[in-house]
Amino acid sequence: MKFIVTSSTLLKHLQTINGVLNSNNAIPILDNFLFELKKGELNITASDLESTITTIVPVEAKDSGSITIPAKFLIETLKAIPTQPLTFNIDTKNHSVEIASDYGKYKLVGQAADDYPKTPQLDSTSSLEINSISLAHAIDKTLFATGNDEMRPVMSGVFTQLNENNIVFVATDAHKLVKYSRNDTSSQKASSFILPKKPLNLLKNILAISDVPVKIEYNQTNALFSFNQITLICRLIEGKYPNYDAVIPKENPNKLTIDRQLLLGSIKRVSIFSNKTTHQIRLKLSGSELQLSAEDLDFSSEANERLTCQYDGVDMEIGFNSKFLAEMLGHLESDAVNLEMSAPNRAGILTPADTTDEHEEILMLVMPVMLNS
């Protein structure tokens, strides 16, 4: 089995799929890439059993065959070789791999392709199409709000709800929640599933660099994403997602509108002086003035700032975790934001005051923290 490929092209493809590999694999062969050569194309696969990603690399070849090659070894070698054609000579019987470059030859040993776990095949699937930039945007806006609690695995993923007029992505860790909707994508059949965090992280990084249609196929157990010669299959998280709509307060008469960067900057400065365990900051709203304050009694430190804002509502003092609030503001892109509240012990609703994309709708919810009197 022999093929010729440009070193930089191969490295780029390997780095695209390398993120799926674990540092500690239960099955040693999962430390390898699976190379399958057929009809002048090289299919390279990486897997951690839960997620499997395949990319197609154009190569010069007359042969066909397959082998698995140690991932770390191969990537480190390619990083050290300047852009040039490389010739791979592979003996599929004893699994030896010889790479010839302008500088010399490098030899390593792979493993039999037959021992590599089979890629899951999806039966009885439904499908839809979404633009890659839109999907990357949806993942970026929700993924940060997912939970890490192993006791509640459903909250460690992004809940995806397909409707006849839109697609909704939801993430929550019980302290914060993000609901992101797009009305330019829909499904003929209403359904929902929970996508795990790791493959979404991988997708986000790959999708953001191209503007192409992404086909999503799914059934009860798996979802498959295909675009740009790349295929990603991931196992869905089993379980029932919490009723997120029930926790979003519908009546929020007190509304603050303020410049997003101004508020974010103030939170970052004031939060330096907050308690390192609670990260609590206090928002005091009165007229057209917002007072932000924080204190850490253990270190006798405190900070106060005043900002001009547009506020329509009763005078109010409410406490939030500054880390959550800053994270949410950082994931919004609008110039100004609205913070809507009903009472100091009820969740605050953060939304963009001006929309940059008419097809998207985003709502962020943050739970308050009990203020020290």
Say whether pLDDT at 279 is over 90: yes
Q: What is the mean pLDDT of residues 273-292?
A: 94
CATH code, 231: 3.10.150.10
pLDDT for res 232: 97
In a domain, 120, yes or no: no
pLDDT for res 187: 83
pLDDT for res 18: 95
Instruction: Say whether both 232 and 254 belong to one domain.
Output: no
In a domain, 188, yes or no: yes
> pLDDT for 75-114, tens place per residue?
999 999 999 999 999 998 999 999 999 999 999 999 999 9
Instruction: Say whether both 222 and 253 belong to one domain.
Output: no
Domain boundary among 115, 136, 153: 115
CB 18 within 8 A of CB 46: yes
Domain boundary among 221, 245, 269: 245
Q: What is the mean pLDDT of residues 203-225?
A: 92
> pLDDT for 256-271, tens place per residue?
999 999 999 999 999 9
pLDDT for res 133: 93
Instruction: Say whether both 259 and 241 belong to one domain.
Output: no
> pLDDT for 25-73, tens place per residue?
889 999 999 999 998 899 999 999 999 999 999 999 998 999 999 999 9
Q: Which residue has the tokens 């390898």?
A: 32
Residue among 149, 206, 143 nearest 169 (CA):
143
Instruction: Say whether both 150 and 198 belong to one domain.
Output: yes
Domain boundary among 224, 245, 266: 245
CA 226 to chain centre: 17
In a domain, 315, yes or no: yes
Q: What is the mean pLDDT of residues 176-182?
A: 97
Domain count, the chain: 3
pLDDT for res 358: 87
**Exposure letters 159-186 (e unless 16+ CB within 10 A, then b):** bbbbbeebbbbbbbbebbbbbbbbeebe
In a domain, 232, yes or no: yes
CB 169 within 8 A of CB 158: yes
Instruction: Say whether both 267 and 349 belong to one domain.
Output: yes
Average pLDDT of the chain? Answer: 94
Instruction: Say whether both 61 and 147 belong to one domain.
Output: no
pLDDT for res 373: 58
Instruction: Say whether both 139 and 166 belong to one domain.
Output: yes
In a domain, 121, yes or no: no
Residue among 259, 266, 255, 251 nearest 311 (CA):
255
Instruction: Say whether both 130 and 236 belong to one domain.
Output: yes
Instruction: Say whether both 105 and 136 belong to one domain.
Output: no
Instruction: Say whether both 148 and 105 belong to one domain.
Output: no
Domain that holds residue 221: 126-245
